[in-house]
Amino acid sequence: MNTENESNENPDDGEFSALNADITEPRLWQKNGWEAKVIKNENDDGWAVAMTRIGDSEASLVGPWTMGRDKKNPKPLDQYAFSTLVKTANEVLARHEQAARARLHKQISFVDDEETRIRADLDIAPDDEDPHAILALSNDQTREPIRKGRVEASFKLTAANVSKWMKSGGE
């Protein structure tokens, strides 16, 4: 049985205990994989809060923080504020991931010369040493694959370019 001074964690695993230790101080909360830190705003006399996912090198979200009643010091963090900040930071990360996926995946549909509705998906490989993309064509109604092949990472996804690629044998 544990007393208040004992711990379930392995004493040799300092990193594990540091990541799992909840901190709930007025200007620093560390819980559920996130850290909220109230910091002095460099641009004015106010305060800001930085939300950082534990293990990340930089904050996911930095925003203004409310002054306390004395109009000099920041309002202390609390559970409600921390929960709201975690939710907002997660939404920011989700939007960044969605934007990154949108940059790497493009899609168009068009009707070819034979009146078939074609769907073209272009997936760019973010590779500095071998930049390329994969162009996959399918029947837009049946989803049946038509052709798939490698193209330049700079391939412009237009109906004209895809039709030209199809006519050239996909090379």
Residues 112-126: pLDDT tens digits?
888 999 999 999 998
> Structure pTM?
0.63
Taking only the tens place, the pLDDT of each residue in 116-171 is 999 999 999 988 899 999 999 999 999 999 999 999 999 999 999 999 998 887 65
Region of 115 on the Ramachandran plot (φ > 0 left; ψ -120 to 50 alpha; else beta): left
Whether residue 45 is predicted with pLDDT greater than 80 in this model: the reply is no
At residue 171, the pLDDT reads 56
127 vs 38 pLDDT, higher one: 38
Residue 1 — pLDDT band, cuts 50, 70, 90? very low
Whether residue 20 is predicted with pLDDT greater than 80 in this model: the reply is no
Residue 21 — pLDDT band, cuts 50, 70, 90? confident
CA angle 21, 27, 29 (to 5 degrees): 25
Residue 10 — pLDDT band, cuts 50, 70, 90? very low
Q: Residues 135-170, buried b or exposed e (16+ Cβ, 10 A)?
A: bebbebeeeeeeeeeebeeebebeeebbeebbeeee
At residue 41, the pLDDT reads 83
Task: Give the tokens for residue 104.
Answer: 């790497």
